[in-house]
Structure 1
Amino acid sequence: MNTLTENEIEQRLLRLPEWDYFDNAIHAEFEFDNFKDCFSAMSRIAFECEALNHHPDWTNVYNVLKISISTHDANGVTEKDFKLAHAIEAIVEEDEE
């Protein structure tokens, strides 16, 4: 899988305003009302990661979820990362409703 150029990454990030590019990965931070809501979103994200066979680096402290995505095999950001980021966005947006 080919890595995207910095310009290609920045263009794709226009559709993901919660996400940033740095340290050779795309990153987002989501805050939930409480730990239960955060953990629930993480569980749904985990199922999506398994379906896509692509797993983020993430941390959770109480109600905050920090996610970092890159394609380790490609040593950078690829289309696969954006596919997962969009799936994560759909899950998080569903929680906000």
Structure 2
Amino acid sequence: MTTPAKRRPLERDAIEAALRELPGWRYEAGALGKSFVFGSFKEAMSFLVRLGFHAEELNHHPEIRNVYNRVDLALTTHDAGGEVTEKDLELARAIQGFSWVG
């Protein structure tokens, strides 16, 4: 279960500090984002399946855009009015841990 503290919007300074530990991630348009380019569509789909399992485990689901071998992610917390929270950083860290590109 997510604690209320994890649903509290983060200040920009806290987000930017956390991004220093998340290579390739950015904060723009009010969301955490990252683009991944894989060797093939099949690799991109494999990544998305793995992402789906992690998102379910954390009960936090990203906005996903996929075109062929490219996957673009945007993370915000709906419970916090679409702001970035610790839940988003937690999912970004998990993704960073299992991604084999970027």
Instruction: Report the RMSD for the aligned CA atoms in angstroms.
Output: 0.9
Q: Return the letter of the residue paired with 1:65.
A: V
Structure 2 residue aligned with 1:71: 77
Q: What is the percentage of aligned positions where both structures have the same residue?
A: 41
Deviation at 1:79, TM superposition (A): 0.6
> What is the CA deviation profile of residues 7-55 of structure 1, one whole-angstrom value per residue up to 9, with x for unaligned ones?
1000000001210001111000000000000100100000000010000
The answer to whether residue 76 in structure 2 is matched with residue 42 in structure 1 is no
Deviation at 1:90, TM superposition (A): 1.4
Q: Please, which runs of 5 or more residues in structure 2 have no aligned partner?
A: 1-6
Partners of 2:63 and 2:85 in 1: CA distance: 15
Question: May I ask how many residue pairs the two structures share in their alignment?
Answer: 94
Written as runs of structure 1 = structure 2, the 5 A alignment for 1:20-59 is 20-59=26-65
Q: Please, which runs of 5 or more residues in structure 1 have no aligned partner?
A: none
Partners of 1:92 and 1:51 in 2: CA distance: 16
Structure 2 residue aligned with 1:87: 94
Partners of 1:69 and 1:21 in 2: CA distance: 10
Q: Return the letter of the residue paired with 1:3.
A: P
The normalised TM-score by structure 2 is: 0.89
